[in-house]
Structure 1
Amino acid sequence: MAENVLISHLRKGDFSRCSPFLEKALLGGENLVNFLNDLLYIAASIEGKDNEMVHPLVTMNCIKNIIGDNKTNPSESLLLYSLHLCKERKIINYNDAIQKKEIEEGSISSVFVGELEDALQSCDWNSVDKLMPSIYYVSDRSRSIIDTIADLGLQNIDSNIVMIFHLLRAFNFKQKKSHVWTYACLLVNKIKSNSLPKPNSRKDCAPKDFIENIAGEKDVQKLVKYAAVSRIWDGDYVRLRSYRREISSWLYENFSIATENNMKDTQIKNRQIDFISVAEKIILNGNSYNMISEKINALDALRYLNNIGCSINIKSHVDSLLKNE
């Protein structure tokens, strides 16, 4: 199936031809949704760099979330930066590679998902690379391959949670079948960077049990991870029971259940934060992709914590993000 026009322009680096799509996206509605979904897909196709703490897909999904605060009059500067993310980057055509493999091999043999799980668990990457195309085609190119990889990846939450959450949300935005393979490849490449520990046992706890406890948390990256596990916990996934097993174990190891804490004044201040404006300032004042992406990622997590009424001084964290350091 031929790619749509915007994705084709982005792959070729022909950004001058992207302007009409940007203009339509600024009108909101379905044009905005399609524009963001295409940018998410291209961001998932970008080859990561060793010195990058945050992959462009994560940054793009954070921007998509923040833009959602005003979908009728979307931020032009945030949409422009979304296009900028793709500039001068190597964009991998994962779909082209899998289509060639299908033609070369003719037919794909049946395999069990358990074989892929075993290969991922043992970090047998050669077997993973051989099994993934078979699972992909046997499942009729369904999202099940993404869910399987995410399930195993959550055994190492500290390393993988940010990518897993944002990748799942990015794919869920439109759930295009033609995008499955690209998202699956990006996720497995992330998981390859660290070995997977054994599965953990479930603990009798949930993210809500710790929401008051994190009120005094100073480490914004810990808040980012807490926000990610909380959002997955409340999501609608086929493997949610397994996801929750790993999340509960991580929460149990990293937080203690809190006592009641009253911070109503802080919550009132938090409600006054314009997260779109903050994101625009971060981009305007940032002097590197790494600085901007890490701050945008943190801002998106703080926005979520604010939306669920978390008793945390979010304004203080936001003020820190706006410091040019």
Structure 2
Amino acid sequence: MVNKGKIILVNGYWQNTWLGREFIGSTAPNKDYWNNGDFNGYANAAQRFFGLNENINDACICLDASSLIVLDDNGSSRAERGHDEYTTYEWAGRMYKKISDRYGYGLPETSGLRNKMLASEINKKRLASLTLGMNKSQHAFYLVGHSEGCAYAAGLARLLQEKGWKVNFIVYLSSYDSGTFDSPKGIKAYQLGYTAKYFGDWATNNNPIRSGVERTAIVYKNWGHAEKKTSLKDEYGRAKDDFQYAHGSTKGAEVWIHLEDLRTLILRTGRTYGTTWQEQIAQSTPNHTVFAFYNGVKLNYKEYMDSENAKYNQYNHKKHYYYR
């Protein structure tokens, strides 16, 4: 049973090869794509962010939006695919009936309409699988896209809007081909990516989605332990400072902590020698996320970390996050 709504999680590119393991960070679609296979942990973190308390099996849907070889489509075409794969062409059936009643079945002129009708039947089943157990007056959708899945999620959200369903929120993570599609109007949307200590997101360059996103942010990550100088290691023994982690790590459950901080992020603006600057106010985010960019503005994250550390020293907060 669905209480408030469903979360649709749309994965991006994956490849079950050495390339997928070493650089892409994704070797399987759907549930195995998220949080290194711990899908329930990721789904529960997403539910807390969206204010939901649903049965994961009933209310969390995984969709695969991966391209074949990355270069075979772009963000614009994926957004259209997300829309068209759930479109039901009611007009095609009405027009086909008029033509067939007047001219008879089997004419070449009706072949395109017959194809639309066939697609409509397939798409109706797809849409029904998303809306099962829901009604438009009580329930809403929440969409999450990663990499290539972001554009697809935008297109699907637009389709759900057109069908009269409420879409409360879209989260775009490490969005790929961002400059080629828009987030649907009237839907709250956040976009978030990571930049590492030495490298940014090599796959996307953290480019912003063209329009429709309320808050766009890049989080600074050094993947070092808060209290130790040694870097965290992955299952292969590599330091997580490696450049490939900036793109794929937003599939981990920790991203929801940073999204929560994005909600409360407060900046201060100053002017020094004629130059205007903005920086994150220390203590303004409960989880102490370090933001490097916000809505197109570059932030002085090093100054922010120094401010946080100064407060740490001043008040001797033993449990406070200390930046090194």
Please report the TM-score for the alignment, with normalisation by the length of structure 1. 0.23
Q: Which has the higher contact order (CA 8 A, sep 6+)?
A: 1
TM-score, structure 2 normalization = 0.23
